[in-house]
Structure 1
Amino acid sequence: MSDERELRVYSQQEIEEKLKELPLWRYEKGCILRDFETKNWKETVFLFNAIASLAEAHWHHPDAEVSFKRLRVKFTTHEVNGITDRDFELAKEIEKISSLLLKR
């Protein structure tokens, strides 16, 4: 993966188009974000730790808001002040892992 591709900043229209692949995510205040509803604190922390491990492996870290039965994850590529492929790629990875962890 080239740095040029990674650091290409998407327009709002392009972001909204790409979010069609991630229907549980939305664009808000310069970030793509998703809220996860969990059963309890333990499930919230377990999910957060899994996401934190993925983020560290990708060296791309989200902002997160953690509460008893909810986790909000927000991405932007800070060094270019916009949404890039890094954000979408990690959001897709989070979707995969969350679908396994939050089976209902």
Structure 2
Amino acid sequence: MAVLTDDQVDAALPDLDGWERADGALRRSIKFGAFLDGIEAVRRVGEKAEAKDHHPDIDIRWRTVTFALVTHSEGGITDKDVEMAKEINAIVGQ
């Protein structure tokens, strides 16, 4: 699997509502109404990630959850990360 070029990542970002490229990864932070709402979103994302065998880095800070996607084995952002970002958006309702 090839690492996407900066131009390819830039071309994908308009279809990834809420995501940005930062520190070599796709990142999205979401503020939930309550702590447990964020935990539930993480659980649902975890199930999808496990099924796809492609796992985001997840940071939980009270009601804010940050997802970071990078294919560590390839050393950069790949199509797998773009697809997982779309899956996460579907799970959290964009």
Higher helix share: 1
**TM above 0.5:** yes
Provide the TM-score with structure 1 as the length reference: 0.86
Q: Which has the higher contact order (CA 8 A, sep 6+)?
A: 2
Q: What is aligned with 1:74?
A: 68
1:35-85 alpha-carbon deviations (Å, 9 max, x no partner): 011011110100111111111111001111002110000000011101111
Provide the TM-score with structure 2 as the length reference: 0.95
CA contact (8 A) 1:34 1:72 kept: yes
**Percent of counterpart pairs with the same letter?**
28
Alignment coverage as a number of residue pairs: 94
Moved over 2 A (4+): none
Unaligned residue ranges in structure 2 (runs of 5+): none
Matched residues in 2 for 1:67 and 1:29: separation? 19
Matched residues in 2 for 1:50 and 1:23: separation? 19
